[in-house]
Amino acid sequence: MKKNLTLTIIGGVVVIVVLWFISAQNGLVTKEEAVTAKWSQVENVYQRRLDLIPNLVETVKGYAQQEEDILTRVTELRSRVGQMNVSSEIVNDPEAMQRFQNAQSELGGALSRLLVVAENYPDLKSNQNFLTLQSQLEGTENRIAVERKRFIEAVQEYNTAIRRFPTSLVASIGGFDKKATFTADDGAERAPKVEF
């Protein structure tokens, strides 16, 4: 009778440990898939921006012929960003994530300069096509910021989960590795200088 009770207790503990392990594994899979989904949404809004740029450039070109170098730079950066081979695996490679982020930052900076150029052309500022594209681009930049924030939060939740004990044991057995996230550009801590 004592032997049966001991076996029942051991069996119960084993069942509890197995159920916990399965639950932890499923929880990590869910968090990892959330990271992948959030990254896909970041890519989606970057693609939206990439698709809008040719329209913006063509609209501005019609009004700002002498600003050809800025327009050329925006077009070149858009092409370079568009040619980057980016997959959901980028979150597993901090160096690739940094290269991608640097290219996106360069493109964002060039777009900002393009919008400043547009301020010098009163006809362009009142052109409905330009106003619509400018509004779309501003909306897209806001979407990028929101989706980056959501991605960062998902990565933080995932990375925290794989490091916390005892789930870290499941993570190491299951091959769950830390994910890369966005970092601020160099100099982002300083307020931009505005000159007129």
Domain boundaries, the chain: 44-174
DSSP 8-state secondary structure symbol assigned to residue 186: T
Average pLDDT value for residue range 65-84: 69
Asked whether residue 64 carries a pLDDT value surpassing 80, the answer given is no
pLDDT of residue 160: 92
Average pLDDT value for residue range 106-114: 75
pLDDT of residue 42: 82
CA separation for the pair 192, 9 (Å, rounded):
66
Q: Which helix (H) or strand (E) segment is 32 a member of?
A: helix 2-63
CA separation for the pair 119, 161 (Å, rounded):
48
Q: Is residue 78 within 8 Å of 107, Cβ to Cβ?
A: yes
Q: Is the pTM of the predicted complex or chain greater than 0.85?
A: no
In the CATH hierarchy, which fold is given to the domain comprising 44-174? de novo design (two linked rop proteins) (1.20.1440)
Residue 16 Cα distances to 10, 19, 26, 161, 172, angstroms: 10, 5, 15, 20, 20
Residue 169 Cα distances to 17, 47, 63, 89, angstroms: 12, 38, 62, 23
Q: Is residue 28 within 8 Å of 167, Cβ to Cβ?
A: yes
Average pLDDT value for residue range 11-28: 90
